[in-house]
A and B are shown apart, each in its own frame.
Chain A
Amino acid sequence: MRYKDLSPAVRRSLWPIIGLFVLLLANVLISPEFFSIEIKDGRFYGSLIDVMNRAAPVALLAIGMTLVIATGGVDLSVGSVMAIAGAVSAGLIVGGVDNIAIVIGGGLLAGVAAGFVNGFLVGYFGIQPIVATLILMVAGRGIAQLINSGQIVTFHHEAFEYLGVGYLFGLPFPIILVIITFVLVQLLMRRTALGLFVEGVGANASASHYIGINDKLIKLMVYCVSGLCAAVAGMIAAADIGGSDANNAGLWLELDAILAVVIGGASLMGGRFSVFLSIIGALIIQALTITIILSGVPPKFNLLIKAAAIIVILLLQSPEFHRQIARFKKAGGAQS
Chain B
Amino acid sequence: MSTDDTVLALRGVVKTFPGVKALNGVDFTLRKGEIHALLGENGAGKSTLIKVMTGVYRRNGGIIALDGTEIHPANTGDAQDLGISTVYQEVNLLPNLTVAQNVFLEREPKRFGIIDWRRMNREARELLLGYDLDIDVTAPLNSYSVAVQQLIAIARGVSMSAKVLILDEPTASLDAEEVASLFNIMRDLRDRGIGIVFVTHFLDQVYAVCDRITILRNGTLVGEYEAATLSQQDLVSHMLGKELEKAVHEKVGQAEAQTRETLFELNQGSSDVLEPLDISVCAGQVVGLAGLLGSGRTELCKLVFGVDELSQGDAKLNNQSIRFSNTRQAVVAGLGLCPEDRKKDGILGPMSIRENMIMALQNKRGWWRYIPMKKQRELAEHYVKVLKIATSDIEKPINQLSGGNQQKVILARWLAAEPKLMLLDEPTRGIDVGAHAEIIQLIRKLCDDGLGLLVASSELEELVEFADKVVVMRDRRKVAELSGSDISQQTIMQAIAGQS
Give A contacts to B, CB under 8 Å: 4, 7, 191-194, 196-197, 199-200, 203-204, 206-214, 271-272
Contacts and interface: CB of A to CB of B under 8 A. Distances in A.
Contact of B330 (A194, A204, A206, A212): A212
B337 A199 contact: no
A155 B367 CA distance: 42
Given A193-B362, A196-B359, A197-B363, A204 B347 contact: yes
Task: Give the interface SS of chain A, mostly helix, strand, loop or mixed.
Answer: helix
Contacts of A7: 395
Nearest to B328: A212
A210 B307 contact: yes
A4 B19 CA distance: 12
Contacts, number: 85
21 contacts: A192-B367, A193-B363, A193-B365, A193-B368, A193-B371, A196-B355, A196-B362, A200-B348, A200-B355, A203-B349, A204-B347, A207-B345, A207-B347, A208-B348, A210-B305, A210-B339, A211-B359, A211-B360, A211-B363, A212-B360, A271-B350
Contacts of A214: 326, 328
A210 B18 CA distance: 33
Contact of B331 (A191, A199, A212, A271): A212
B327 A212 contact: yes
A7 B330 CA distance: 37
A210 B347 contact: no
B367 A211 contact: no
A-B CB proximity, top 5 nearest: A212-B331, A203-B348, A212-B328, A212-B327, A193-B367
B497 interface: no
Most buried by B among A197, A203, A211, A214: A211
Interface string B323-360: 00011111110000101000011111111000100011
A83 to B, nearest CB: 32
A210 to B, nearest CB: 5
A200 B360 CA distance: 11
B363 A213 contact: yes
B413 interface: yes
B351 A210 contact: no
A200 B350 contact: no
A184 to B, nearest CB: 15
Contacts of B363: 193, 197, 211-213
A207 B367 contact: no
Given A203-B349, A210-B337, A212-B332, A197 B370 contact: no
B330 to A, nearest CB: 6
B316 interface: no
B364 interface: yes
A39 B332 CA distance: 57
Interface in B406-464: 413
Given A196-B362, A212-B327, A212-B332, A206 B344 contact: yes
Contacts of B328: 212-214
Most buried by A among B331, B332, B345: B345
Contacts of B362: 193, 196-197
Most buried by B among A7, A210, A214: A210
Given A192-B368, A193-B367, A209 B327 contact: yes
Most buried by A among B327, B347, B366: B327
A191 B370 contact: yes
Contacts of A203: 348-351
Contacts of A212: 326-332, 360, 363-364
Contacts of A199: 348, 351, 355
A211 B338 CA distance: 9
Given A193-B371, A194-B367, A206-B344, A211 B331 contact: yes
Given A191-B370, A193-B367, A212-B364, A204 B359 contact: no
A213 B345 CA distance: 13
Contacts of A272: 350
Contacts of B360: 211-212
A222 to B, nearest CB: 13
Most buried by B among A191, A212, A271, A272: A212
B301 to A, nearest CB: 10
Most buried by A among B331, B346, B351: B351
A160 B331 CA distance: 47
Contacts of A204: 344-345, 347-349
Interface string B356-391: 000110111111111100000000000000000000
A212 to B, nearest CB: 3
A207 to B, nearest CB: 5
Contacts of A197: 362-363, 367
Contacts of A206: 344-345
A187 B348 CA distance: 23
B356 to A, nearest CB: 9
B359 A200 contact: yes
B346 A207 contact: yes
A112 B146 CA distance: 46
B334 to A, nearest CB: 11
Contacts of B370: 191-193, 196
Nearest to B306: A212
Most buried by A among B329, B330, B363, B371: B363
B348 A207 contact: yes
Nearest to A197: B367
A208 B359 CA distance: 9
A316 B409 CA distance: 34
Given A192-B367, A197-B363, A206-B344, A211 B413 contact: yes
B456 to A, nearest CB: 15
Nearest to B333: A212
A213 B367 CA distance: 10
A108 B305 CA distance: 39
Nearest to A212: B331
A272 B395 CA distance: 13
Nearest to A218: B367
Interface in B295-338: 305, 307, 326-332, 337
Contacts of B369: 192-193
Nearest to A190: B370
A207 B351 CA distance: 12
A1 to B, nearest CB: 14
Contacts of B305: 210
Contact of A210 (B327, B332, B368): B327
A78 to B, nearest CB: 25
A236 B363 CA distance: 37
Most buried by B among A4, A194, A196, A209: A196
B208 to A, nearest CB: 35
A191 B305 CA distance: 30
Given A212-B360, A212-B363, A271 B371 contact: no
Contacts of A192: 367-370
Contacts of B326: 212, 214
